[in-house]
C-alpha cells in the first residue's frame, strides 16, 4: 500500500522569500503525484500533478514541483511567496492504474510573515 510523508507540520516564511515543502512517498512503482492546497473553510484545490514525462512540473499560482525517483520525493517550490499563499498544503499519491484514488499526507501548514 502507498503512503505519503510530509515531514514539516508547520512552516513560516517571510513574504517574498522562497518556499520548499517536502513530500516523500512510498509505493512499489512510479505513482501519480499531486499537490493540493486547502484554504480555511475551502475545499481542496489542485496545484499541480505528475503522471509521467518531464520531472519538473509547473502548476497554478506560480508553484512547481520536482519528481525525484531516486529519493521518492515530490517537493513543492515557489520562488517568491505572497501573503495569500498562507494555507494548508497536501501532497498525495495514487496508483498509476487508478489515478484518482488518492492517499494524502498529513499536510503542511504554511504561515507567511509580512
Residues lying near another protein in the complex (CB under 8 A) are found at 4, 32, 36, 41-46, 49, 51, 90, 92, 98-107
Nearest distance from residue 28's CB to another protein, in Å? 18
Nearest distance from residue 111's CB to another protein, in Å? 15
Residue whose CB is less far from another protein, 17 or 60: 60
Nearest distance from residue 80's CB to another protein, in Å? 26
Residue whose CB is less far from another protein, 33 or 112: 33
**Beta-carbon count within 10 A of 58 CB:** 10
Residue whose CB is less far from another protein, 79 or 99: 99
Closest of 84, 102, 79 to residue 92, by C-alpha: 102
Residue whose CB is less far from another protein, 81 or 92: 92
Torsion angle (degrees, nearest 10) of CA 27, 30, 31, 37: 100
Nearest distance from residue 81's CB to another protein, in Å? 22
**Residue 25, C-alpha cell as written in the block:** 512517498
Q: Where are the alpha helices (DSSP H) in 1-114?
A: none
**Beta-carbon count within 10 A of 55 CB:** 12
- For residues 67 and 88, the answer to whether their CB atoms sit within 8 Å is no
Amino acid at each position: 500500500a502507498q503512503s505519503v510523508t510530509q515531514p514539516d507540520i508547520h512552516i513560516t516564511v517571510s513574504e517574498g522569500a522562497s518556499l520548499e515543502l517536502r513530500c516523500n512517498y512510498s509505493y512499489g512503482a512510479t505513482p501519480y503525484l499531486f499537490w493540493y492546497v486547502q484554504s480555511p473553510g475551502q475545499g481542496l484545490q489542485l496545484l499541480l500533478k505528475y503522471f509521467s514525462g518531464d520531472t519538473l512540473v509547473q502548476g497554478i499560482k506560480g508553484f512547481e514541483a520536482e519528481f525525484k525517483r531516486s529519493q521518492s520525493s515530490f517537493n513543492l517550490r515557489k520562488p517568491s511567496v505572497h501573503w495569500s499563499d498562507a494555507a494548508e498544503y497536501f501532497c498525495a499519491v495514487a496508483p498509476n492504474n487508478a489515478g484518482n484514488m488518492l492517499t494524502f499526507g498529513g499536510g503542511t501548514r504554511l504561515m507567511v510573515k509580512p
